[in-house]
């Protein structure tokens, strides 16, 4: 049996995440306290007590999800057997790098903090957001986005069949929403995010993030990492640096990433981190793939 470890991204955060594991498992407690020390503020307070609106801010949500996911990973009694690949959705890719021993936790946390800061800053410069779209084809989405040019609107997350996220500036999203409803979309929902992530709006942020990535030690991973941008294995330091630098302005090809792992023999996905978003997507992508979700103390004890 071949398995992949997968890690969630922004949107999976909630007040109280990983609190029960923090209280019960020394490794989780040490991880979260280290995060507080590295960042120089009480990230743990936001994770466990909120307020929700502050935790949801990109600059806080990303390091919080990263810290909670690593805390859960380190709390496992042992690594699951048969791991062949790791992958993470958007910021979850940084957790995947820590799991694969390609990136140290403290270095990853600093990068994620900077990533969140730059992405939030880009959102303040160009007002935009993201739309979750259900029930229309990727081709229809691409056509609707192309039709609003030169306004920015593009597919940002190819998550699962019939479930795609569009990113763009506000005026572009308004026009795309109307076009997709006319094409028969079952649902078009504005997401609670502060900016047009994984779109050209992030190009300047990506260039500045690349400078920070260049200063951080990165090693060849223990297991191949399936990159968001390429949906192919990353096995070298150079590949990983290129992926992380491009990722925030490029679409997340999650469906293609899961399908690639399945084609390589993976028949079990183990989601480690708050929520069960990736578990739900996996069932839509390939119902034959077994899934396990490790997001709290109860699920951890079942491992």
Q: Is 198 a catalytic residue?
A: yes
| Dist. CA 220–CA 282, nearest whole Å | 27
List the catalytic residue out of 44, 69, 90, 167.
90
List the catalytic residue out of 12, 60, 194, 198.
198
Q: Is 203 a catalytic residue?
A: no
Contact present, 53 and 125 (Cβ < 8 Å): no
| Dist. CA 133–CA 180, nearest whole Å | 8
| Helical packing angle, 58-75 and 105-125, nearest 10° | 160
Catalytically annotated residues: 90, 198
């Amino acid at each position: 049996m071949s398995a992949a470890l997968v890690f969630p991204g922004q949107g999976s955060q909630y007040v109280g995440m990983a609190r029960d594991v923090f209280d019960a498992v020394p490794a989780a407690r040490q991880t979260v306290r280290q995060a507080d020390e590295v960042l120089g503020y009480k990230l743990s307070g936001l994770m466990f007590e909120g307020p929700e609106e502050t935790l949801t801010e990109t600059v806080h949500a990303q390091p919080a999800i990263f810290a909670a996911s690593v805390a859960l990973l380190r709390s496992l009694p042992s690594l699951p057997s048969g791991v062949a690949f790791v992958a993470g959705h958007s910021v979850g890719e940084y957790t995947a790098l820590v799991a694969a021993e390609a990136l140290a936790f403290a270095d990853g946390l600093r990068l994620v903090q900077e990533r969140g800061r730059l992405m939030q800053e880009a959102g303040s410069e160009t007002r935009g957001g993201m739309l979750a779209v259900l029930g229309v084809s990727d081709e229809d989405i691409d056509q609707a986005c192309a039709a609003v040019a030169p306004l920015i609107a593009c597919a940002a997350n190819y998550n699962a069949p019939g479930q795609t996220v569009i990113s763009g500036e506000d005026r572009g999203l308004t026009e795309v929403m109307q076009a997709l409803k006319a094409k028969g979309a079952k649902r078009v929902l504005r997401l609670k995010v502060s900016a047009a992530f994984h779109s050209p709006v992030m190009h300047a942020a990506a260039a500045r993030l690349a400078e920070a990535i260049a200063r951080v030690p990165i090693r060849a991973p223990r297991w191949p990492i399936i990159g968001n941008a390429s949906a192919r294995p990353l096995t070298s330091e150079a590949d990983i640096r290129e992926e992380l630098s491009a990722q925030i302005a490029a679409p997340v090809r999650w469906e293609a990433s899961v399908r690639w792992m399945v084609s390589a023999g993976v028949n079990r996905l183990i989601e480690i981190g708050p929520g069960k978003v990736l578990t739900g997507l996996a069932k839509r992508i390939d119902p034959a793939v077994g899934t396990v979700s490790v997001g709290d103390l109860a699920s951890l004890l079942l491992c």
